Amino acid sequence: MAAKTTSRELKNKLKEEQRKKEDKSFYIMLTAFATAFIIEMALITLYRQYYAGAYYGFTLRTIMFVLLGMTAAAGVAFIAAAVTCRFRYLKPLFAAGFVFFALAVEIRLVNTIGIAALKAGCMACPILLVLFLIYLIYQPEFFITALLGTVGMFSAWLTKSAFFVPILFAGRHYYPSAAAAFILLLAVFVLVVKMNKGFLGKDKWRFRVFDPKTSYTSIFISLALTFVIVVLLLLSEIFLFRVILLYKLALIVLAAYVFGSAIYYTIKLM
């Protein structure tokens, strides 16, 4: 009888913990939606103002410096949390710092290239929101696949657009190069975590990055596929055999791979 009571109490405790975890994820998603909505509305409003001929250079520069200061504060807090082993604060501090820094970069681009940066920002905001929701809901394998697909498609789109947008033409070699460097760094990071059985760091500074059930094979397949496509884009720029079909094919392959992965990992969640 006592064993049955203990088992029932354990089940109730596990259900309560799961419920709290789901509630926390829901509140985080609501916060992400609200933040993305406010940023998107601000970008659209600014786009309309700039399209009508307005210019807010000084005001935007002031906001940019404020955002950079907030980024630095988040960075200091992140380091302090890591040193004091308060790992639960690392993710929210990183997310806050990333948002502040991304907004500062967006404002800098608006002051540099104007309305084109606002168009890019309006597209980037929902994409980043979707990636964040994937991070919250899905397995880490699919999050990395979606992240790599986004990086690869963005690189292909920028490289293709360089033919038609003069301001992008000068840096056409850097877009696939930056994407390739990012993929290599991510591959090294995943390999280090895999060798450490899903953990990063040592001793008391050790915290889990990937679950024990994480399929590293699928992650490395995604890394390899995206890297090959990005390298082909880079070679096409270096040796000047620019074929528009190649960029379109890269976009189609990456989009199809991410879409197929979304179906597969959604089924696994059920």
Query: pLDDT (tens digit, 9 = 90+) per residue, 176-200?
Result: 888 999 999 999 999 999 988 888 8
Q: Which domain holds residue 230?
A: 139-270
**Do 203 and 160 reside in the same domain of the chain?**
yes
The reply to whether 76 and 100 lie within a common domain is yes
Co-location of 154 and 267 in the same domain: yes
Residue ending a domain, among 137, 165, 185, is: 137
Inform me whether the pLDDT recorded for 225 exceeds 60. yes
For residue 4, pLDDT over 60 is answered with no
Answer yes or no: do 103 and 229 share one domain.
Answer: no
> 3 in a domain, yes or no?
no
In a domain, 33, yes or no: yes
Compute CA distances 254 → 8, 144, 149, 236, 261, whole Å.
48, 13, 6, 18, 11
Q: Which of 89, 109, 137 is the last residue of a domain?
A: 137
What is the structure's pLDDT at 66? 95
Co-location of 246 and 156 in the same domain: yes
- Is residue 4 situated within a structural domain? no
Burial environment of residue 159 by CB neighbours within 10 A (0 to 12, 13 to 18, 19 or more): buried
Q: Are residues 151 and 231 in the same domain?
A: yes
Of 133, 124, 125, 132, nearest to 153 by C-alpha is 124
The answer to the question of residue 9 being in a domain is: no
Structural domain total, the chain = 2
- Single out the residue in 137, 158, 188 at which a domain terminates: 137
**pLDDT of 30:** 92
Residues 195, 148, single domain; the answer is yes
| Residue 10 located in a structural domain | no
Same domain (yes/no): 191, 231 = yes
pLDDT of residue 171: 61
Q: Do residue 102 and residue 175 come from a single domain? A: no
> Does 232 score more than 60 pLDDT?
yes
* Cα–Cα distance, 88 to 133 (Å, whole number): 19
Q: For the CA atoms of 169, 173, 174, 179, what is the dihedral angle to 10 degrees? A: 120
Whether 244 and 122 map to the same domain: the answer is no
Percent of the chain residues topping a pLDDT of 90: 40
184 and 195 part of one domain: yes
The model carries a pTM of 0.83
- Please indicate, yes or no, whether residues 180 and 270 belong to a single structural domain of this protein: yes
3-state secondary structure string across 14-68:
HHHHHHHHHHHHHHHHHHHHHHHHHHHHHHHHHHHHHHCCCCCHHHHHHHHHHHH
Average pLDDT for the chain: 85
The model's pLDDT over 72-82, given as tens digits with 9 standing for 90+, comes to 999 999 999 88
Interatomic CA distance for residues 171 and 155, integer angstroms: 11
Let me know if residue 176 belongs to a domain: yes
The model's confidence at residue 258, banded by pLDDT at 50, 70 and 90, is very high
